[in-house]
């Protein structure tokens, strides 16, 4: 089942934007979850995981990954994701992770 959410962001130059995004679960195991996340023309197959040192996000098709906080901590997760992706896609993914934690 695909879920839809609304993303909102204020960029460093003060520009405000909002856009629709979608996510759906592609697979799940004890310590990982694979999601398809779409928004603003981008699409990512994201693997969320948890290990002894914390949470992480990987996008294997792009050979990138980063550490994460709790899914509700959008303020910390967004810059973490933005360290490996553009800011707009980082906002989309962080918001989708939060929405997944509430409705997944």
Backbone angles phi, psi at 85, to 5 degrees: -140, 175
Do the domain assignments include residue 29? yes
SS3 state at 40: coil
Please determine, for residue 104, whether its predicted confidence score (pLDDT) is greater than 90: no
Do the domain assignments include residue 70? yes
SS3 state at 69: coil
Do the domain assignments include residue 7? no
Do the domain assignments include residue 19? no
> Looking at residue 20, what is its pLDDT?
98
Do the domain assignments include residue 87? yes
CA–CA distance, 67 with 50 (Å, rounded to integer) = 10
Chain segment 15-32, per-residue pLDDT in tens: 999 999 999 999 999 989
> Looking at residue 103, what is its pLDDT?
87
- Tell me how many helices (H) and strands (E) the chain has: 2, 6
Do the domain assignments include residue 20? no
Structural domain of 78: 25-103
Do the domain assignments include residue 8? no
For the chain, how many structural domains are there in total?
1
Look at the block and give the residue holding tokens 């949470």. 55
Q: The pTM is what?
A: 0.94
CA–CA distance, 92 with 37 (Å, rounded to integer) = 8
């Amino acid at each position: 089942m695909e879920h839809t959410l609304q993303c909102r962001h204020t960029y460093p130059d003060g520009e405000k934007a909002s856009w629709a995004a979608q996510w759906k679960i592609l697979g799940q195991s004890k310590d990982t979850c694979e999601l398809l996340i779409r928004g603003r023309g981008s699409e990512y197959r994201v693997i969320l995981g948890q290990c002894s040192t914390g949470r992480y996000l990987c996008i294997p098709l792009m050979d990138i990954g980063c550490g994460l906080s709790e899914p509700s901590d959008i303020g910390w997760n967004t810059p973490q994701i933005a360290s490996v992706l553009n800011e707009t896609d980082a906002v989309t993914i962080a918001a989708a992770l939060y929405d997944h934690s509430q409705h997944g």
